[in-house]
Amino acid sequence: MTSLNEAWFQRALRVLPGGVDSPVRSFRSVGGTPYTVARGSGAYVEDVDGARYLDFVQSYGASLLGHAHPDVVHALREAAGEGTTFGAPTPGEVLLAEAMVARVAGLEQVRLVSSGTEALMSAVRLARGHTGRDKIVKFDGCYHGHSDALLVAGGSGVAQLGLPGSAGVTKGAVGDTVVAPYNEVPTLDVDVAAVLVEPVAANMNLVAPTSGFLKGLRAECSRVGALLIFDEVITGFRLAFAGAQEYFDVTPDLWCFGKVIGGGLPVGAFGGTRAMMSSLAPLGPVYQAGTLSGNPLATAAGTTVLNLVTPRDYADLTERVATFATNLEGAITAGGLYGRCPTEGPLMGLFLSREPLEAPTNFVEAKALCENGLYRSFFHAMLERGVALAPGAYEILFVSLAHSADDLASTVEKAVEAVQVAAKS
């Protein structure tokens, strides 16, 4: 690593724990010094030393159009000039909520918050308040943000750092959280308030739902009166124009969003039917609030993104990613390893192995592959060749609308060499 990256990281280490504000950004699981990003444009980021990388991190999915899209930048400049936060209703909140409600069949109202974590935490409170039940069910390897009740058997950074959960989370906080294996429909009791699921699991690398899983969950929740919560923080408006409800034809009781709907600014949202959302304060007994909720800058960026992308964009991106996945699997074979790049719409995972493999269907299978040690050297070999993947084997590749077919083809070429390096490691 060259000098300015190292210098910034050393300064960061003094004032930020681990040098980062979110553990997934640290290079703990891959080793080495992280590049410090100075700027980004489209599919590329540039670090403080001036090195350019084709970026498959894309803020872990927050950036659908690529970095610094001119329309988003313009909307932000306009909004900033009008004032950035008021503590009073603004048109921007209505516009973003309308854009979301217009897309998703069954979604009638949303409450805007400032992160995905907040959306999930609040949706769980709403589900408990609405049903008068305590228990929630989540799936092994799914990540639903870092609120106490949901920080158990999480994927992403929790898995990357080899943590079972987190210190500081009391037994009481997770005592009503039941963990079940992904892709198996659990038999529920009548004391379950809600079942939370990532419709496509994208925090244990990529694990797609098997046929019947989501429909089975819907039926089982309905049978016992539990609420089905789709955590669409990644799938929401990345998997398909209207998200997972459209893609899988399964309608949950509550939706959680984040990442894409903020257009690169801090936003989350949760929503459902008007009747369900009426349980929230000021209408109902479930309290939820936020000083910066529905922030004018964030809603301006998010609304710009949602209004810009078309169903056609999702179809094109899906096609581009399918080709990329096939070619990358070919590159892995050519480089001397076995690989699987499972896709679901424009979402794509990457598993490397020394033995022939199938795409995993649950966390146990995904973990065995993510922990085989091959990703670390592949990651660094790609980074040296100007391709930035996430610094952890449990993350997926985020291909934005700014990634051209040429960008993806050159990634495939570089991958052959990087796999050869990994194979020798």
Q: Are 107 and 81 in contact, with CB atoms under 8 Å apart?
A: no
CB atoms within 10 A of CB 216: 17
Indicate the residue among 363 and 412 with the shorter CB distance to ligand PLP. Answer: 363
Least CB distance to ligand PLP at residue 97 (A): 18
Indicate the residue among 139 and 375 with the shorter CB distance to ligand PLP. Answer: 139
Indicate the residue among 220 and 395 with the shorter CB distance to ligand PLP. Answer: 395
Least CB distance to ligand PLP at residue 96 (A): 16
Q: What SS3 class is residue 107? A: coil
CA distances from 158 to 22, 141, 142, 147, 192 (A): 11, 9, 10, 13, 25
CA distance 187 to 208: 21
| Residue closest to ligand PLP, measured at CB | 116
Residues forming a β-bridge with 340: 351
Q: Are 116 and 102 in contact, with CB atoms under 8 Å apart?
A: no
Indicate the residue among 248 and 374 with the shorter CB distance to ligand PLP. Answer: 248
C-alpha of 401 from chain center:
16
Catalytic (active-site) positions: 143, 231, 259
Indicate the residue among 48 and 227 with the shorter CB distance to ligand PLP. Answer: 227
Q: Where are the beta strands (DSSP E) in 224-275?
A: 227-231, 254-257, 268-272
Least CB distance to ligand PLP at residue 118 (A): 7
Extract the tokens encoding 39. Answer: 């700027």
By CB under 6 A, name the binding residues for ligand PLP: 60, 115-117, 120, 143-145, 198, 203, 231, 233-234, 258, 268
Helical pair 91-103 and 296-308, crossing angle rounded to 10 deg: 30
Q: Is the dihedral of CA 380, 386, 387, 391 positive or negative?
A: positive
